[in-house]
Amino acid sequence: MKLFRIRGGVHPDDRKQLSAEHPIENLPLPPLLHIPLQQHIGAQATPVVTRGQLVRKGELLARSQGIISAPVHAPTSGRIMGIGGYPAHHASGLSVRTLTLKPDGHDEWHDSCVGAAAPFSLSPEEISTRVADAGIVGMGGAGFPSSVKLNLRHRYALHTLVINGAECEPYLTCDDRLMQERPDDVRDGVMLMARALGVRRVLFAIENNKPAALAAMRESAKAQADLQIVGLPTRYPMGSANHLVQTLVGKETPARGLTADIGVVVHNAATAAAVNDAIRHGRPLISRIVTVTGRAIRRPRNLHVLIGTPMDYLVEYCGGFLEEPVRLISGGPMMGQPLPSTRVPVVKGSNGLLALSASEVNDGAEMPCIRCGICVRVCPCGLVPLSMVATIRAGRLESSVRLGLLDCIGCGSCAYACPSHIPLVQHFNYAKGELAAQQRAQHKQGEIKRLIEARTARMEAIKRAKQEAMRRRKAEMDGKKAENADRRAETAEASR
Amino acid sequence: MIERPLYSGPYAHERVSVRRTMLLVVFALLPATLFGLYQYGWPAIFLFVVTLLAAIVAESVSLWVMGKPQRPFLLDGSALLTGWLLAITLPPWAPWWIGVVGAFVAIVIGKQVFGGIGQNLFNPAMVARSALLVSFPLEMTTFPAPQPLLSAQAPDMAQGLAITLGDTTQVDAVTSATTFGHVKTELTRGAGMDEALAGTYSLWEHLLGTSSGSLGEASVLLLLLGGVLLLYTRVISWHIPVSMLGSLALLATIFHLINPSLYLDPLFHLMAGSVILGAFFIATDLVTSPVSVRGQLIFGAGCGVLVFVIRTFAGYPEGVAFAILLMNASTPLIDHYFRPRVYGRDRRGRPLNHGDGEDRRP
Ligand code: SF4
Ligand code: SF4
């Protein structure tokens, strides 16, 4: 198949060999599970269980709230110990509402978990409803509710489903293992999604550095005429949805738009497997595969983990730390998030736990920009990172937006390659956050203004109404007075 | 539990640093420099060492005055590179103070006054070279013929030291015009091109580096070798050298075809003088050249055109330094107007529209 070139990109040392050869292992049940109500982009789920309640595996714990949201299910059977704040799976370490479940060890499935007898005869609506009910979100890390993406067919003319099996982040091997070990499940999930989207063409893209996964998927795809497995050149960020689509179909997604604007929907390979589980077996998304790796980990592994398992339980299973890690990251080293601590739980989007040793991070001292232009050369979005940083440093956020700040996908290629070790992405993230805050403030101000205006208008109306009433009363009184006067005059006359 | 300050990714980093970049450039210059030092013997070696030391001292003093830390900036290799570039563009037997004055001008006026590394508008070595040329035209245009080290006529160490300390008697004895200087003088005397070229023009001499000139003009072959190394290690990209040499060759060809007896042929333009050095090592100076591909192409082409114009129509025999300085001045403008196209947008920054809603459902 003809592939199209994308601009820029880098070739980081992928270090996948640390964990690539280790088959997926099931992590034993942890003593406690902490299941956050928000593991996705969108509105937090609303709990439907109470403290002390016994739940079965797969039972609904919290239902989705609004259009963009996802429900949460019990990863195993046990008792709900409480609902409250717990450190979030997020750099800020802020706490989010979290259900705590104490497994009873029986791991019994709930009765609601029944698969469809004939998955491929379900209608597109039925498929996307089941995907929504199973709480499936994008498992590549973004966590966007998958059913919302499946429903894009209502608003866009779609022609292609792209499955992202690129796994271009260094270190991560969870999708690689999944595709090698469960190719048929992945394939069926893909074909179910294709059916839900009503597209005939499915391109399944895998980077060429995963020959075993490519071979397994090719073998499995033989039975499917519509499914084409495509080997991709190894280059970061090949797995960025926009760039992946451009590589495959040769079109750029319009700025601020969706890949659906050019008729393409992208789903992740692990998401496909989850869709298959949900529809064929009736199992909601309650577990996932996590790569635990980095040179600071004694035994890097690919683990099958229940959602809500604390990270330190994974670390312990992998033999603990060889040395104190200098960085602890959820996800890959390029776009992952620093973890505030190992207490935080695994969520639906956690694809990796990285414990990096000092030898791996190459933390050079920051130097002034030498205008080498390397950041420009490697940016896959055609941006000029050095100018964006200069404007951000000068506090001119609007200029940085004009230079394309909001077109930056945060891939980190620029900061990765900068010889001056300037934390470019950190500046961009700061500016994006600042802009969002300003927008919120503006929105809030607008809201306050609207409220004040509404109140003034209401007051005015009341005042006017009062005046009106007064006038009317006065008029009436005057009328009465006049009447009375007349009457008095009449009586006087009569008495005369 | 491990607590770390909040920090954005990426957490992996390519094994690169400012120092590595600078040292790679120095390394790429090494073959041509060593050969040049061999060609011009002890006086050249002394001048070279004095210039490098002066550059480092100047850097250190500037850092001290500005209250910046010494270690990271002295070790970044940029002062070394600036001194090096300056040293190899000086006449090899120039007196020591030319090197010292040049180095201080380069570092202090060319770089630190602008705010230090990365902030300067002009290439520091070229600023210094041009200042020296204007201030000390005699010293800056006195070129000895090559006297390879250990050859019979070559000055020994003591004589070399004397030359560097300012004894001109020996220099005058072996002075020889550079190719460009010679041609220019002859042409202004009204001689035809053939006559002007007689006896000076040997491509081989330039390729191998046995013609007279500064160290950096010496061997085109060795400079090209260094250039290839820079391209290979991706310190520079091909855009500036190719567009610079290309535009120069194109213009030279056109003029040469129109009137061969008045205009030099393109090969001569490429081989003689410091064009190769300029194209691979000076115009490509990271700090003072544009950052985008289109910008670099325009910048390089501008350098090539200016080199030709200065060499052909202006009073100076050699125009590389001035050409590059002039283009340096336009770098901010080029960077402003020639940015890459942003993904998902057209050249004017509007979001792409593929066939106007063709793909969308009504
Ligand atoms: S890569 Fe770094 S040093 Fe080079 S131009 Fe970009 S920000 Fe400056
Ligand atoms: S992080 Fe943004 S600016 Fe940097 S390379 Fe990626 S898209 Fe370009």
**What global pTM score does this model have?**
0.86
Same domain assignment for residues A259 and A395:
no
Q: Residue A492 sits in a domain of what CATH number?
A: 1.10.1060
Which is more confidently placed, A90 or B42?
B42
Mean of the per-residue pLDDT values for chain A?
89
User: What pLDDT, on a 0 to 100 scale, did the predictor assign at position B174?
Assistant: 60
Nearest CA residue ID for atom 1, ligand 1: A418
Q: Please choose, from the candidates A8, A5, A4, A1, the residue with its C-alpha nearest in 3D space to the C-alpha of residue A377.
A: A8
Using the predicted structure, report yes or no on whether residue B361 has a pLDDT greater than 50. no
Q: Residue A90: left (phi > 0), alpha (psi -120 to 50), or beta? A: beta
User: Using only C-alpha atoms, what is the Rg of chain B?
Assistant: 23
**Other Cβ atoms closer than 10 A to A115:** 14
Sorted by where each begins, the domain ranges of chain B are 16-176, 178-211+236-337
pLDDT digits (tens, 9 = 90+) for A399-436: 999 999 999 999 999 999 999 999 999 999 999 988 98
Number of domains in chain A: 2
The reply to whether A337 falls in a domain is: no
pLDDT surpasses 80 at B187: no
Atom 4 (ligand 2) nearest CA: A414
CA–CA gap between residue A236 and residue A3 (Å, rounded)? 16
Average pLDDT over residues A193-210: 94
For range A297-309, the mean pLDDT: 95
DSSP at B108: I
Range of the domain at A432: 367-496
- Is the confidence at residue B356, as pLDDT, over 50? no
- Which of A366, A496, A474, A480 lies closest to A424 in space, CA to CA? A366
A307 and A390 part of one domain = no
Task: Select the residue of A368, A384, A407 nearest B344 (Cβ to Cβ).
Answer: A407
Using the mean position of ligand 1's atoms as its centre, give its distance from the Cα of residue B194 in Å.
Answer: 49
| Measured distance CA(A246)–CA(A295) in Å, rounded | 34
Residue among A10, A370, A400, A425 to mutate when testing ligand 1 (max atoms within 8 A of CB): A370
- Determine whether the interchain pair B2/A341 forms a contact, defined as Cβ–Cβ distance below 8 Å: yes
Q: Residue A289: give its domain's CATH number.
A: 3.40.50.11540
Task: Kindly state the tokens that stand for B68.
Answer: 């910046």
Count of CA atoms in the C-beta half-sphere (13 A) of B312: 23
pLDDT digits (tens, 9 = 90+) for B26-74: 999 999 999 989 888 888 899 999 999 999 999 999 999 988 888 888 8
Sorted by sequence, the CB contacts under 8 Å of residue A250 that are 6+ apart come out as A4
B260-272 per-position pLDDT tens digit: 878 888 888 888 7
Which helix (H) or strand (E) element contains residue A291? strand A287-293
Interface test with B, best of A90, A156, A261 (most B CBs within 10 A): A261
Centroid of ligand 2 to alpha carbon of A239 (angstroms): 14
In tens, the pLDDT along A470-486 reads 888 887 777 776 666 66
- Considering only B141-145, B155-159, B202-206, B215-219, which range has the smallest mean pLDDT? B202-206
Q: How far is the CA of B17 from the centre of ligand 1 (A)?
A: 10
Of B289, B269, B263, B150, residue with least CA distance to B220? B269
> At residue B5, does pLDDT exceed 60?
no
For residue B27, count other CB atoms closer than 10 A to its CB. 14
Domain contains A331: no
Which regions of A110-248 does DSSP assign to beta strands (E)? 160-165, 201-207, 227-232
CA distance A228 to A191: 11
Give the best-scoring range by mean pLDDT among A82-86, B8-12, B341-345: B341-345
B47 Cα to chain A: minimum distance (Å): 28
Mean pLDDT of A83-109: 84
Dihedral over Cα of B44, B50, B53, B58: its sign: negative
- Supply the residue whose CA is at minimum distance from atom 8 of ligand 1: A369
Same-domain pairing of A276 and A180: yes
Query: Vertex B237, ends B235 and B238: CA angle to 5°?
Result: 140
pLDDT of A489 over the 90 cut: no
Question: What is the distance between the alpha carbons of residues B306 and A29, in angstroms, rounded to a whole number?
Answer: 74
* Residue A76, domain member (yes or no): no
pLDDT at B358: 44
Q: Considering only residues A440 and A25, tell me which one the structure prediction assigns the higher pLDDT.
A: A25
Model pLDDT, residue B217: 75
Asked if B237 lies within 8 A of A92 by C-beta distance, the reply is no
First CA to last CA across chain A, in angstroms? 119
Mean pLDDT for the stretch of residues A17-45: 91
Instruction: Determine, yes or no, domain membership for A4.
Output: no
DSSP-assigned states of every residue in A196-229: HHT-SEEEEEEETT-HHHHHHHHHHHTT-TTEEE
Among the listed residues A299, A350, A289, the one whose alpha carbon sits nearest the alpha carbon of residue A321: A299
> Would you give the DSSP letter of residue B352?
P
pLDDT in tens, A232-259: 999 999 989 999 999 999 999 999 889 9
Percent of chain A clearing pLDDT 70 (strictly above): 96
CA distance A260 to B357: 12
**Within this chain, do residues A285 and A391 fall inside the same structural domain, yes or no?**
no
Terminal CA-CA length for chain B:
55
In tens, the pLDDT along A44-59 reads 899 999 999 999 999 9
In this predicted structure, the answer to whether residue B4 has a pLDDT above a threshold of 50 is: no
Averaged pLDDT, A343-355:
91
Confidence class of residue A182 from pLDDT cuts 50, 70 and 90?
very high
User: A364 or A105: which carries more pLDDT confidence?
Assistant: A105
**Would residue A377 count as lying in a domain?**
yes
**What's the confidence (pLDDT) of residue B192?**
59
Q: Which of B1, B7, B11 sits opposite A342 (nearest CB)?
A: B1
Encode pLDDT of B197-255 as tens digits.
Answer: 555 556 666 666 666 777 777 788 899 999 999 999 999 999 999 999 999 999 999 99
What are the backbone angles phi and psi of residue A403, rounded to the nearest 5°? -80, -5
Q: Are residues A303 and A386 in the same domain?
A: no
Least confident of A202-216, A465-479, B240-254, B269-283: A465-479
Is residue A104 a part of any domain in this protein? no
Residue B270 phi/psi, 5° resolution?
Answer: -75, -35
Digit-coded pLDDT (tens) for B313-354:
887 767 899 999 999 999 999 999 999 999 999 888 888 877
In-domain check, residue A394: yes
Find out whether the beta carbon of A387 lies less than 6 Å from any atom of ligand 1: no
CA-closest candidate to residue A159, choices A208, A121, A198, A204:
A198
Burial class (CB in 10 A: 0-12, 13-18, 19+), A211: exposed
Q: For residue A382, give the ligand nearest its CA.
A: 2
Pick left, alpha or beta for residue A294 (phi over 0 → left; psi -120 to 50 → alpha; otherwise beta).
Answer: left
Which of A10, A367, A371, A403 has most ligand 1 atoms within 8 Å of CB, for mutation?
A371
Looking only at the bridges linking them, the beta strands covering A201-207 and A227-232 are: parallel
Strands A301-306, A25-26: pairing is: parallel
In 3D space, the residue among A324, A334, A265 whose CA is nearest the CA of residue A297 turns out to be A324
Q: Is the pLDDT of residue B121 over 80?
A: yes
DSSP H or E segment with residue A26:
strand A25-26
Q: Kindly give the distance from the C-alpha atom of residue A431 to the centroid of ligand 2, in angstroms, as a whole number.
A: 13
* Alpha-carbon span A401 to A431, nearest angstrom: 9
Q: Identify whether A351 is part of a domain.
A: no
Q: Closest Cα to residue B11, out of A33, A398, A296, A380?
A: A296
User: Is the per-residue pLDDT at B82 higher than 80?
Assistant: yes
Q: For the ranges A316-330, A373-387, A401-415, B143-157, which has the lowest average pLDDT?
A: B143-157
